[in-house]
Amino acid sequence: MIEPVEIPIREKNIVLIGFMGVGKTTIGQLVAKKLYRDFIDIDEQIEKMYKMPVTQIFKELGESKFRKMEREMIIDLCKNTRLKIISLGGGAYLQEEVRKICLEKCIVFFLDLSWDSWRDRLPLIIDSRPVLQNKTVEEIEELFFKRRDAYSLHNSKISTNDLDPETIANDIVESLKISWDIYQPHGE
Ligand code: S3P
């Protein structure tokens, strides 16, 4: 049997997970800049591939096609790249295969925002998030808490309430540097 190659912790991709609109893309871009790494936003990659926004992909091709595409793209990136900062769409991590590969090959950060703070963002994001459309606030709240089960499988949780993206990105970078130094001190 061929043993899987163990990726040095300093080279592992960093994956950001969390509910829609918590700031994964903005924070991911900042983390990438601070660490001089490339940033990849899965939704943006899918939009580029299909040359249409996610809302239109959902409408014209259906959610299951979108889910298949995001799953395949994430698995490919986790298996074949290193040193990237990757922001996942909020629903991607509900797929078991995605969770498995991310936890095996990458460092997963859960961006945790409270329901009360998140609810204020709803009007700003609803038009571009098909999953939120045609739902009552109560249904969205149920989805918000239901998804926490999947998000609870992570390497590190960052509470983002009342914090600006710059501070959150700095927190992520600091926490990474601590674990890099613990698990792979410089020179090893
Ligand atoms: C989705 C989240 C979106 C996008 C799509 C579906 C979800 O990404 O992938 O609209 O099911 O949570 P963001 O988390 O970046 O909003």
In angstroms, rounded to a whole number, what is the distance separating the alpha carbons of residues 92 and 42?
9
Which residues does ligand 1 sit against, CB inside 6 Å?
A: 20-21, 24, 43, 54, 89-91, 129-131
Residue 72 falls inside a structural domain: yes
Q: Can you give the chain as a three-state secondary structure string?
A: CCCCCCCCHHHCCEEEECCCCCCHHHHHHHHHHHHCCEEEEHHHHHHHHHCCCHHHHHHHCCHHHHHHHHHHHHHHHHHHCCCEEEECCCCHHHCHHHHHHHHHHCEEEEEECCHHHHHCCHHHHHHHCHHHCCCCHHHHHHHHHHCHHHHCCCCEEEECCCCCHHHHHHHHHHHHHHHHHHHCCCCC
In this prediction, residue 187 carries a pLDDT of 57
pLDDT band at 188 (very low <50, low <70, confident <90, very high): low
Residue 87 Cα, ligand 1 centroid: separation in angstroms?
10
Enumerate residues 6+ apart whose C-beta is below 8 A from 4.
104
**Full residue range of the structural domain in which residue 59 is found:** 9-161
In this prediction, residue 172 carries a pLDDT of 98
Total domains, the chain? 1
- For residue range 127-168, list pLDDT tens digits in order: 999 999 999 999 999 999 999 999 999 999 999 999 999 999
Assign residue 72 the CATH number of its domain.
3.40.50.300
In this prediction, residue 186 carries a pLDDT of 73
Residue 113 Cα, ligand 1 centroid: separation in angstroms?
15
In ligand 1, the atom with minimum distance to the C-alpha of 19 is 14
Residue 28 falls inside a structural domain: yes
In this prediction, residue 5 carries a pLDDT of 75
Q: Which residue has the higher pLDDT, 22 or 184?
A: 22
Residue 41 falls inside a structural domain: yes
Residue 1 falls inside a structural domain: no
- For residue range 53-111, list pLDDT tens digits in order: 999 999 999 999 999 999 999 999 999 999 999 999 999 999 999 999 999 999 999 99
For residues 2-24, average pLDDT: 92
| Closest CA to ligand 1's atom 10 | 129
Q: What tokens appear for 188 in the block?
A: 């090893």
Residue 128 Cα, ligand 1 centroid: separation in angstroms?
9
In this prediction, residue 141 carries a pLDDT of 98
Residue 167 falls inside a structural domain: no
